[in-house]
Amino acid sequence: MAPQLDGFFKQVDDSTDHFIERLRKAVAIPSISAEEARRPDVVRMGQFLADELKALGVTVELRELGEQPGKPGLQLPPCVLGRYGNDKNKRTILVYGHYDVQPAEMSDGWATEPFELTVDEKGRMFGRGSTDDKGPVLGWLNAIEAHQKAGIEFPVNLLMCFEGMEEYGSEGLDDLINAEAKKWFADADAVCISDNYWLGTKKPCLTYGLRGCNYYSIEVSGPGADLHSGVFGGTAQEPMTDLTKIMGELASNDGKIKIPGIMEQVAPVTPEEESLYDSISFTMDNIYESLGSETTIHNDKKSTLMARWRYPSVSLHGIEGAFSAPGAKTVIPAKVIGKFSIRTVPNMEIDKTNELVCKFVEERFAALKSKNTLKVYPQHCGNWWVASPKHWNFSAAAKAVERVWGVEPDFTREGGSIPVTLTFEQATGKNVLLLPMGSSTDGAHSINEKLDKRNYIEGIKLLGAYLHYVAEEPLV
Amino acid sequence: MAPQLDGFFKQVDDSTDHFIERLRKAVAIPSISAEEARRPDVVRMGQFLADELKALGVTVELRELGEQPGKPGLQLPPCVLGRYGNDKNKRTILVYGHYDVQPAEMSDGWATEPFELTVDEKGRMFGRGSTDDKGPVLGWLNAIEAHQKAGIEFPVNLLMCFEGMEEYGSEGLDDLINAEAKKWFADADAVCISDNYWLGTKKPCLTYGLRGCNYYSIEVSGPGADLHSGVFGGTAQEPMTDLTKIMGELASNDGKIKIPGIMEQVAPVTPEEESLYDSISFTMDNIYESLGSETTIHNDKKSTLMARWRYPSVSLHGIEGAFSAPGAKTVIPAKVIGKFSIRTVPNMEIDKTNELVCKFVEERFAALKSKNTLKVYPQHCGNWWVASPKHWNFSAAAKAVERVWGVEPDFTREGGSIPVTLTFEQATGKNVLLLPMGSSTDGAHSINEKLDKRNYIEGIKLLGAYLHYVAEEPLV
């Protein structure tokens, strides 16, 4: 069945200017969660959102999250909880988004004022937070309003969770989600998160998997303090020499992980999965463009997508304690801390992976017969996440994409991590869907962040349509 | 023959309080050359020195060195040139020292005010510049004054060159030395530099050699900008992976240089040299103490001294462009610059060494078959220096040490570089001697820098005695 969406769509189109105006007001509030001095603006943005929701008849509670860890006296911005509709005969969808943004200043290289929504002749709406994540958050409000104005019954009960610290580690959110799992979120039948992007620029996607991340430190220390290389070069065993040898052995430069036992944990590729990649709208030119070079490990689309989504990788991030400034300094660093991480995938286990990594690093260090001292340990670990794309939550979204965009969506995974996804899945026990609004060129954390007008307006239609198809999906 | 020095020595002893007072006045002027805001203090210190010299009858000229390179409008402090005596029948000795100091603040961890000379019950005189290099510089003034007060004829003509930028790369000095080589410095028969330290704490040494230093950068670049390791880990070739592999191959952790052709340039050890090391006052406990650990490459004195003085070494200093802060950041750095240096010794040639290093790094990179881009180049190079310890300049100093300290000095080399040494040798064509005043535990560039009262007072006697023995050395 196809729900009657035409009235809703027409209302969205007719409200375009109004919806852009709402986004303009939101972008104008510089709700930068990473900057302490902007905390009042973050709070103001949460209040703006709450007021807009209340005006639409949504029941709203602002949940205070207490002081920011490590910042005595600095209150976290509230989490905005909303409920729209309470009909036992309807499904209930829990949606998540965030109202804080990344830092932005003209001096970073913006072409326009970052906190002034600026629409160009191509319909690109520039402004910090336009695509990440104010546009998608307001999408839900706009969908509710268009239903009201068109006189169309809202197809589901909607629960909302909009936080204000996403760009600064979602401080306090996990505790809130777990605390509300059996309270505010108790009725949720499924979860929908709009905080990611299409794989490219042409075709929408539905995202059903994310890699995890285990982040490690390797500390090598020896001398009591930094040394002068003239005096001690050739007589002291240098921690940097040990460390670079070990870091150089973690992976080959064509991406092969050299730590035994890691690849053995990776789920085998099924013929079904094998067939998925060819049809996905993605080309090597896409990655060359985003990379700014052609220095890829693989030369074909399928290997590249598999490497990003379904295989683990090792990245070397840097070294703490060594000389890192421009110029020359003849220091022998006394203690250096190498940082690297492994992106994890099914069926890798965090503990098992940590054990293999530490064992390998310790063995390689032992082989050096160094007099220096080694410590290796995980700094933080977040698990991978994979949902079932066969669930009605995904089927409904796929139908909505076909209806709004006229194409079947790509079913994709992502290489990065969105930890809240796993938290929602574990706390509610329900299927989680990532339903992106913006495209791959939106520059979420960069200068000149934008959301295309088309992605915003069709995106509002998509959210509404998704909820109608959710209502029609058969019970399982 | 042994010159009659008793009257001079007695006068030095009698003037102890006066000489310490002179050092106190000098230490009180925070002549920090590295801090722009302290430039007036550096100039004030130069003026203080000039005034003290003039009061002793020394002819003084303050040579302006122009603006500091890269700092328009900031004048370099003047170089203080002095001449004491102009007797054609006497030898002429050119002495060098510097009147600027390293930065110092209580908050760095000093136990006493760094710019207030504080003498403890053990006779340790704490204060920035006490040993490096205000004590040694004032030593020459004190030696002149003691001769005058004791009514003893000064045995030589003394030329002086005291600079104010030594702790900031001796900006402007090379040009001045070369310009004055045939003018102010034209009469010099030999050069004496007091800007280094005893090998240990018990026995004076005379230093006749220094290692050189070739400093290199290895740049590896690929992507157009820093990348997110979630999105690009496993798909982009990472410059850090290439760089750590190459840096890890430069040396073994027991100090062996793995760049072919380097060791082949090193002068062989002669039986004569071989026999020198055993008698030198130095123990493994000395290096363990200065290292703050027992993480030495060698376990015996002779190998350790040879590794410091007469063999080249490779030190890895750090990486520019990678993540270097505490904590965790999931970045794939787009461009990383590894910094390392080779300490050079006779008969290594700068150009040949650079060629071997670049060839090796390029070959190792080529073997990686990476798509990234490599650049390797020397940042700066300074040659090694070795003087003849058989020269009368050294013989005179050795006799002075025996007379003042009652022991034969160790003839030593140093692992580090003092570039001005080579400049003086090349500009004047004369023998250069390094005659240290302070001991190895003075902490020249550290907190709680000190000069022992004994080293200061006996050091003044040593400088005077040295000049008397210089006058007695047979003509060659």
CATH code of residue A334: 3.30.70.360
CA B87, CA B84: separation in Å to the nearest integer?
Answer: 10
Q: Edge-to-edge strand order for the sheet containing B313-320?
A: B313-320, B335-344, B212-221, B373-382
* Cβ-contact B450, B131 below 8 angstroms: yes
Which residues sit opposite A162 in a β-bridge? A80, A97
Is there a single domain that holds both residue B118 and residue B227? Answer: no
Give the closest residue to A278 by CA, choosing from A302, A300, A254, A299: A302
Question: Is A298 annotated as a binding-site member?
Answer: no
Token pair in block for residue A278: 């060819």
- pLDDT of residue A1 exceeding 90: no
- B175 as an active site residue: the answer is no
How does the average pLDDT of chain B come out, rounded? 95
CA B411, CA B401: separation in Å to the nearest integer?
Answer: 12
Q: Which residues of A touch B348 (CB under 8 A)?
A: none
Which of the given ranges, A227-231, B2-6, B399-403, has the highest pLDDT on average?
B399-403
Q: Which of these is catalytic: A52, A100, A414, A449?
A: A100
Residue with tokens 């809240």: A420
Q: How far is B416 from chain A (nearest CA, A)?
A: 4
Q: Which of these is catalytic: B41, B52, B100, B163?
A: B100
3-state secondary structure of B180: helix
**B300 within a domain of the structure (yes/no):** no
Q: What is the largest CA-CA distance in chain B?
A: 83
- A300 as an active site residue: the answer is no
3-state secondary structure of B204: coil
Is there a single domain that holds both residue A97 and residue A225? Answer: no
Amino acid identity for residue A462 in this structure: L
* Cβ-contact A234, B252 below 8 angstroms: no
Around A363, how many Cα atoms within 13 Å sit in the side-chain half-sphere?
11
Q: Which residues of B touch A109 (CB under 8 A)?
A: none
Number of compact structural domains in chain B: 2
pLDDT tens-place string over residues B239-269 = 999 999 999 999 998 899 999 999 999 999 9
Cβ pair B235:A255 closer than 8 A: yes
Is there a single domain that holds both residue A392 and residue A323? Answer: no
Question: Is B241 annotated as a binding-site member?
Answer: no
What value does the mean pLDDT take over residues B169-176?
Answer: 93
At A31 the pLDDT is 97
Is there a single domain that holds both residue B39 and residue B149? Answer: yes
- Backbone region of residue A447 per phi and psi (left: phi > 0; alpha: psi in -120 to 50; beta: other values): beta
Residues 6+ apart with CB under 8 A from A467: A93, A143, A154, A155, A156, A158
From A339, A362, A382, the end of a domain falls on A382
What value does the mean pLDDT take over residues A80-102?
Answer: 97
**B295 within a domain of the structure (yes/no):** no
At A169 the pLDDT is 86
- Residue of B167, B196, B221, B229 to mutate when probing chain A, most A C-beta within 10 A: B229
Percent of chain B with pLDDT over 70: 99
**A292 within a domain of the structure (yes/no):** no
Q: Whole domain around residue B233: which residue ranges?
A: 212-267+310-382
Is there a single domain that holds both residue A157 and residue A234? Answer: no
* Cβ-contact A160, A58 below 8 angstroms: yes
Cβ pair A322:B324 closer than 8 A: yes
Token pair in block for residue B76: 């370099």
**A281 within a domain of the structure (yes/no):** no
- pLDDT of residue B168 exceeding 90: no
Q: Which of these is catalytic: A41, A163, A166, A458?
A: A166
Cβ pair B292:A224 closer than 8 A: yes
Peptide bond into B347 cis (omega under 30): yes
Amino acid identity for residue A221 in this structure: S
Q: Which residues of B touch A215 (CB under 8 A)?
A: 328, 330
Is there a single domain that holds both residue A232 and residue A153? Answer: no
Q: How far is A228 from chain B (nearest CA, A)?
A: 8
Is there a single domain that holds both residue A261 and residue A244? Answer: yes
Nearest to A234 among B241, B253, B313 (CB): B313
Which residues sit opposite A118 in a β-bridge? A126
CATH code of residue A203: 3.40.630.10
Q: In B248-329, which ranges are continuous DSSP H helix?
A: 271-274, 284-291, 301-309
Question: Is B279 annotated as a binding-site member?
Answer: no
Q: Which residues of B touch A339 (CB under 8 A)?
A: 323, 328-329
pLDDT tens-place string over residues A121-179 = 999 999 999 999 999 999 999 999 999 999 999 999 999 999 999 988 899 999 999 99
**B144 within a domain of the structure (yes/no):** yes
Peptide bond into A87 cis (omega under 30): no
Residues 6+ apart with CB under 8 A from A417: A210, A211, A212, A213, A343, A382, B230
Is there a single domain that holds both residue B29 and residue B164? Answer: yes
**A&B contacts, CB < 8 Å:** 282
What value does the mean pLDDT take over residues B149-161?
Answer: 97
At A3 the pLDDT is 82
Q: How far is A30 from chain B (nearest CA, A)?
A: 24
From B354, B382, B410, the end of a domain falls on B382
CA A339, CA A353: separation in Å to the nearest integer?
Answer: 16
Is there a single domain that holds both residue A341 and residue A417? Answer: no
From B348, B382, B416, the end of a domain falls on B382
**A33 within a domain of the structure (yes/no):** yes
Is there a single domain that holds both residue B390 and residue B378? Answer: no
**B231 within a domain of the structure (yes/no):** yes
Q: Which residues of A touch B379 (CB under 8 A)?
A: 327-328
Is there a single domain that holds both residue A258 and residue A333? Answer: yes
Cβ pair B254:A232 closer than 8 A: no
Interhelix angle A135-150/A16-27, nearest 10 degrees: 150
Is there a single domain that holds both residue B395 and residue B352? Answer: no
At B15 the pLDDT is 98
Distances from the Cα of B174 to the Cαs of A7, A101, A131, B178, B180, in angstroms? 84, 54, 59, 6, 10
At B444 the pLDDT is 87
At B68 the pLDDT is 93
**A25 within a domain of the structure (yes/no):** yes
The residue ranking higher by pLDDT, A462 or B107, is: A462
Nearest to B307 among A234, A312, A343 (CB): A234
Model confidence at B1, pLDDT cuts 50, 70, 90, reads low
